[in-house]
Chains A and B, each alone.
Chain A
Amino acid sequence: MIAVLALLLVCQLGGEILARSLALPMPGPVVGLILLAVILLVWVQRRPDLKGTLLDKVTTFLVGGLGLLFVPTGVGVVQQLGLLGDYGVGIVLTLIISAVLTMLATVGAFLLVKRWTGRRS
């Protein structure tokens, strides 16, 4: 348990160090994700599967509870009530329509490229 948390933190710290010192356009945790993926890819060459390991359990717990981790940030809305009073309707409409357009563009491009590449092979 502690070892898994330490592994995640070491990767995140390594990610921060790399991102800052090389001035990468990527955020530290994302570089950390890549570092851990590389470590795990080497690991799965020797061990057959990650499923059921403590690492799998802890990370499933963390990723599954992702929603909770956004609550402290979201509660910050209490500081923005004045702004939302002035522009609330415009902001909400902008966010809703933009989210729908983004999902449609993403899913459309995904299925389109899948159809093209599927035909070729």
Chain B
Amino acid sequence: MNDPFALWVYLSSTPLLWLTVTLCVWIGADWLALKSGRNPLVNPVLLSIIAVGAVLLATGTPYARYFEGAQFVHFLLGPAIVAIAVPLVTNRKIVMENLLPLLGALLAGSVTAIVSVVLLGRLFGLPPDVLLALVPKSVTAGVAMGIAEQIGGSPSLTAVLVVLTGVTGAVLVTPIMNALKITDYAARGFSVGLASHGIGTARAFAVDPVAGTFAGIAMGLNAVLTSVLAPVLAAWLV
């Protein structure tokens, strides 16, 4: 295979290339985030999406072909959610001490996430199909897509909105909480995990292990509560 174009055509159709690109871009983005001193604005998820997206657009690679390689990373989302049981059990003492605040915050946050996104979306003139896709945006990707399907939204649009919400919360949480002088890391972590699921949880773990644990708990609990609330609230609001 001496022709570089033929080599490209071959490689670009294999899962190997796109899996490797995803991992290498992530390493570069995470390195930049580390170099910035974990500055919230230098979010590795956002940087990676922009870089990989640009490569796909520049090379005219369809998303479906990219995903054939990237699915091996994507698959780990499920086991990673199960894995949150470990920090949950290791930190069970502080979790039990904060059980009531945690449940109160869960209810307040979950309802606010759903109601605010629909009302704001209406205010900004978004069409009903986009509103439906927005309803589960604070829930982790796989679960949110299931909820969207159930209430009549587009799962693939929801997936993108979920990631955008995740990045938004991860970028904003530290400046907001610092401005409000909130030093309770359980409360800080719980709020970003609820609003911004796994991407918020990753940010929380980068800041503080207790914040990370509470973010993980919030992500899990909000997935459950939103699965119950979304069909009811969506029928009422949209």
Task: Collect the chain B residues with CB atoms within 8 Å of residue A35's CB.
Answer: 82, 85
Residues of B within 8 A of A (CB): 22-23, 25-26, 30, 44-45, 48-49, 52-53, 56-57, 63, 66-67, 70-71, 73-74, 76-90, 92, 98, 100-109, 111-113, 116-117, 120-121, 123-127, 130, 134, 137-138, 141-143, 146, 156-157, 159-169, 172-173, 176-177, 180, 182, 184, 186-188, 190-192, 194-196, 198-199, 201-203, 205, 212, 216, 218, 220, 223-224, 227-228
A103 and B202 within 8 A (CB) = no
B88 and A37 within 8 A (CB) = yes
B89 and A55 within 8 A (CB) = no
- The one of B52, B120, B218, B224 in contact with A25, judged by C-beta atoms closer than 8 angstroms, is B224
Task: Collect the chain A residues with CB atoms within 8 Å of residue B66's CB.
Answer: 72, 75
Interface string of A53-86 (1 = CB under 8 A from B): 0011011101111111111111111111001000
* CB within 8 Å for A99 and B195 given contacts A69-B74, A106-B218, A110-B187: yes
Residues of A within 8 A of B (CB): 5, 8-9, 11-12, 15, 25-30, 32-37, 40-41, 44, 49-51, 55-56, 58-60, 62-80, 83, 87, 89-114, 117
Task: Collect the chain B residues with CB atoms within 8 Å of residue A50's CB.
Answer: 86, 89-90
B100 and A113 within 8 A (CB) = yes
Tell me the interface secondary structure of chain A in the complex: helix
Offer 14 A-B interface pairs, CB within 8 angstroms, sorted by A.
A30-B223, A60-B86, A63-B80, A68-B22, A70-B166, A71-B70, A76-B63, A96-B168, A102-B109, A102-B113, A106-B195, A109-B104, A113-B104, A114-B187
